[in-house]
């Protein structure tokens, strides 16, 4: 009976993922995957046994997408994480055209993967896909002992971005019963806090509009006559809720990674992302204790970088002119210096206009109330925000803040 029991257990475990020699990410392997994809969009590495039900489910999900889907399932290659991360891009170059190119790797009993999504020029679905991925927190509650749950969910995320529909509910069998789901006590407190802040902000804004509406209208008419172009004012109070939300979301992602660390299912690259995010979050929390729009903007930038670093693996520099704008994905020349800028500021600079920069309020009036001052970057100062351009000129804002 003991031998029979051992045989049954072995037969049950063996098809999930038997020991297979780790492959090399050689051109020959990539050519073999590409050749297989031209016949079957789901490639399984030789010797890696995946249950047929898992493969059928992946193929069904792949056929439901309007764009081609290619999936490769193989053991984790014996190469560094950077080369493994580049596999979808290298395979897309061999296949060409649009589509979703996915490489899912198994290490012991844990599956994880990367993808490359290529859409027709001018498509906006890529941005929607990025937003859907960020908002799909339940993705991290999926079991990773089988490839189908995470592979199918990634396909569903792309489908939702292309079709504009909502993500479907995940089957209960795909959820890890060991991971807590639903709103935690902290999440409920966060939600209550955000509702309270929203109500307070609405009342405050209404009173401010009633009080200053006429004066703002007169000022706007005067500015139009003089041809003056003003930036949308940024205040510490307006940034605080966004910063706190980013810190909270980044912390939840970090906690999921901590759980994976305990299970031993993270890569060295994910550990580096975690460490970098912890440093930025620590500096952001430090700045949240300070007053002033510069400290608030610095906390916002660091919290946003921590979140995108954990969720996307990319830490983008902020817009040099106004770090509260979108990330600086363009490069412009300003005062003989190349700086990153958002699209709005890039258009302004290219047109010869002054960009809508973050301004440092100065004391004015009988009671010393703040008013619009000069752009932050034009002020002679040795604070870390000016010296680094909030991280646009050098990516060491967090370290400078903590040293200070």
* H or E stretch at 74: strand 69-75
175 pLDDT higher than 60: yes
Give the distance, in angstroms, between the CA of residue 288 and the centroid of all CA atoms in the same chain: 22
230 pLDDT higher than 80: no
**Confidence bin at 186 (pLDDT 50/70/90):** very low
* H or E stretch at 306: helix 293-312
For residue 350, what are the contacts with CB-CB under 8 A and spacing of at least 6?
332
Angle between helices 125-135 and 293-312 (to 10 degrees): 90
8-state DSSP, 313: S
Report, as an integer, the average pLDDT of 199-225: 52
| CB neighbour class for 224 (10 Å; exposed up to 12, middle 13-18, buried from 19) | exposed
Per mean pLDDT, which range of 5-14, 103-112, 113-122, 393-402 is the poorest? Answer: 5-14
Tally of CB atoms within 10 A around 299: 29
Choice between 197 and 371, residue whose per-residue pLDDT is larger:
197
Choice between 189 and 235, residue whose per-residue pLDDT is larger:
235
Choice between 215 and 122, residue whose per-residue pLDDT is larger:
122
341 phi and psi angles, rounded to 5 deg:
-145, 155
| CB neighbour class for 234 (10 Å; exposed up to 12, middle 13-18, buried from 19) | buried
CB contact at 8 A, 311 and 277:
no
CA distance 295 to 356: 19
Percentage of residues in the chain having pLDDT higher than 90: 46
CA terminus-to-terminus distance, the chain: 69
8-state DSSP, 182: S
Q: What is the mean pLDDT of the chain?
A: 82
78 pLDDT higher than 90: no
């Amino acid at each position: 009976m003991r031998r029979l029991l051992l045989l049954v257990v072995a037969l049950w475990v063996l098809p999930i993922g038997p020991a297979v020699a780790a492959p090399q990410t050689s051109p020959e392997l990539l050519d073999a995957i590409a050749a297989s994809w031209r016949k079957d969009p789901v490639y399984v590495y030789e010797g890696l046994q995946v249950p047929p039900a898992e493969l059928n489910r992946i193929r069904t999900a792949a056929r439901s997408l309007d764009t081609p889907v290619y999936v490769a399932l193989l053991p984790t290659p014996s190469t560094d994480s950077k080369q493994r991360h580049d596999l979808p891009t290298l395979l897309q170059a061999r296949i060409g055209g649009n589509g979703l190119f996915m490489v899912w790797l198994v290490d012991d009993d844990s599956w994880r993967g990367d993808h490359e999504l290529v859409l027709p020029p001018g498509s906006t679905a890529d941005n929607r896909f990025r937003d859907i991925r960020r908002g799909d927190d339940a993705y991290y509650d999926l079991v990773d002992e089988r490839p189908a749950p995470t592979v199918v969910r990634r396909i569903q995320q792309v489908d939702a971005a292309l079709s504009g529909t909502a993500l479907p509910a995940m089957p209960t069998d795909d959820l890890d019963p060991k991971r807590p789901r639903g709103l935690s006590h902290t999440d409920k407190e966060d939600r209550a806090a955000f509702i309270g802040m929203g109500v307070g902000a609405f009342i405050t804004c209404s009173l401010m509009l009633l009080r200053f509406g006429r004066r703002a209208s007169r000022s706007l008419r005067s500015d139009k006559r003089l041809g003056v172009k003003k930036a949308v004012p940024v205040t510490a109070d307006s940034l605080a809720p966004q910063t706190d939300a980013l810190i909270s979301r980044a912390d939840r992602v970090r906690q999921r990674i901590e759980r994976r660390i305990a299970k031993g299912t993270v890569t060295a690259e994910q550990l580096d992302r975690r460490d970098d995010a912890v440093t930025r979050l620590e500096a952001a929390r430090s700045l949240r204790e300070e007053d002033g729009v510069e400290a608030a903007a610095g906390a916002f930038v660091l919290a946003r970088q921590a979140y995108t670093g954990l969720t996307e693996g990319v830490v983008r520099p902020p817009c040099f002119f106004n770090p509260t704008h979108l990330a600086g994905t363009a490069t412009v020349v300003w005062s003989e210096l190349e700086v990153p800028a958002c699209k709005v500021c890039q258009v302004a600079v290219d047109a010869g206009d002054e960009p809508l920069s973050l301004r440092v309020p100065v004391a004015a009036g009988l009671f010393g109330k703040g008013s619009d001052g000069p752009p932050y970057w034009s002020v002679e100062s040795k604070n870390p925000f000016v010296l680094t351009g909030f991280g646009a000129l050098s990516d060491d804002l967090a370290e400078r803040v903590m040293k200070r």
